[in-house]
């Protein structure tokens, strides 16, 4: 599977604990496919499909009676929103918070911009350097070093939420979303760039970015 369509794995390795030995249970494959389709739909701006696919994934995961699997699916869903600069609460996770383990609690705090420094080691590996960076420049470099495009966008979103995003972070996020053809996060990050240009009084740059936004919004 292509890296950009395995968002659930990149964010939290959702089903790693389930093993890879055949035969693979139906619920595992069904959940995997539903999460993959749900994240892709969200990134493309199709909210109806995203909702339906995550509902299907949750039903499959709930059939195991393991709250940690449902928790991680909900965190993947919230991570896709952070990648798109949607900083809403994470109600699906909050409903199950009392059953969350330390690593899941740390990742939820990371997404919310409230991670404690001592908990950075509990994060998925690709996010640890971003969370533990002592300067904005170091955090930006750590985010740019993440190879997976979704994880890079998530890290960039966290940096923006916490006021640590440099122009390089915004540019890298735009490039990551553009390379994947992810319309929703691309529009969000272009909008963030346009706002920075406006605040800096750079009318030419603001207009250039707006032309890119208009192109993405062209009717298909």
Tens digit of each residue's pLDDT (9 = 90 or more) over 130-154: 999 999 999 999 999 999 999 999 9
CA nearest to 141, candidates 116, 126, 133: 133
Query: What's the number of CA atoms in the CB half-sphere (13 Å) around residue 161?
Result: 24
Q: Please give the pLDDT value at position 5.
A: 38
| Euclidean distance between CA atoms 13 and 1, whole angstroms | 14
Q: Contact, 177 vs 153, CB < 8 A?
A: yes
- Prior bond to 23 cis, omega within 30? yes
Q: Please give the pLDDT value at position 22.
A: 63
CA nearest to 45, candidates 81, 91, 82: 81
- Which stretch of DSSP H or E encloses residue 197? helix 183-199
Q: Contact, 51 vs 77, CB < 8 A?
A: no
For residues 148-186, b (16+ Cβ closer than 10 Å) or e, as one string?
bbbbbbbbbbbbbbbebbbeebbebbbebbbebebbbbb
Sorting pLDDT into bands at 50, 70 and 90, what band is 20?
A: low
Q: Where are the alpha helices (DSSP H) in 134-182?
A: 136-144, 149-161, 167-180
Query: What's the number of CA atoms in the CB half-sphere (13 Å) around residue 200?
Result: 13
Percent of all residues in the chain with a pLDDT value above 70, rounded to a whole number:
89
- Which stretch of DSSP H or E encloses residue 151? helix 149-161
Per-residue pLDDT at 155 exceeds 50: yes
- The reported pTM is 0.88
Q: Contact, 149 vs 3, CB < 8 A?
A: yes
Q: Please give the pLDDT value at position 55.
A: 95
Sorting pLDDT into bands at 50, 70 and 90, what band is 25?
A: confident
Q: Please give the pLDDT value at position 15.
A: 43
Sorting pLDDT into bands at 50, 70 and 90, what band is 7?
A: very low
Q: Contact, 35 vs 59, CB < 8 A?
A: no
């Amino acid at each position: 599977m292509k890296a950009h369509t395995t968002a659930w794995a990149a964010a939290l390795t959702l089903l790693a604990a389930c093993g890879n030995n055949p035969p693979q249970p139906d619920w595992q494959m069904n959940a995997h496919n539903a999460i993959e389709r749900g994240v892709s739909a969200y990134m493309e701006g199709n909210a109806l499909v995203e909702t339906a696919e995550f509902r299907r994934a949750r039903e499959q995961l709930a059939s195991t009676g393991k709250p940690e699997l449902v928790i991680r699916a909900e965190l993947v869903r919230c991570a896709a929103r952070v990648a798109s600069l949607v900083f809403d609460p994470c109600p699906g996770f909050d409903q199950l918070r009392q059953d969350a383990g330390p690593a899941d609690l740390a990742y939820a705090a990371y997404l919310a911009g409230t991670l404690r420094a001592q908990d950075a080691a509990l994060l998925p590996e690709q996010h640890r350097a971003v969370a533990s960076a002592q300067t904005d420049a170091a955090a930006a470099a750590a985010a740019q070093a993440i190879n997976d495009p979704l994880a890079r966008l998530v890290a960039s979103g966290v940096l923006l939420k916490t006021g640590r995003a440099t122009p390089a972070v915004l540019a890298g996020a735009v490039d990551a979303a553009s390379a994947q053809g992810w319309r929703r996060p691309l529009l969000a990050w272009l909008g963030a760039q346009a706002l920075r240009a406006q605040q800096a009084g750079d009318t030419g740059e603001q207009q250039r970015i707006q032309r890119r936004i208009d192109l993405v919004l062209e009717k298909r």
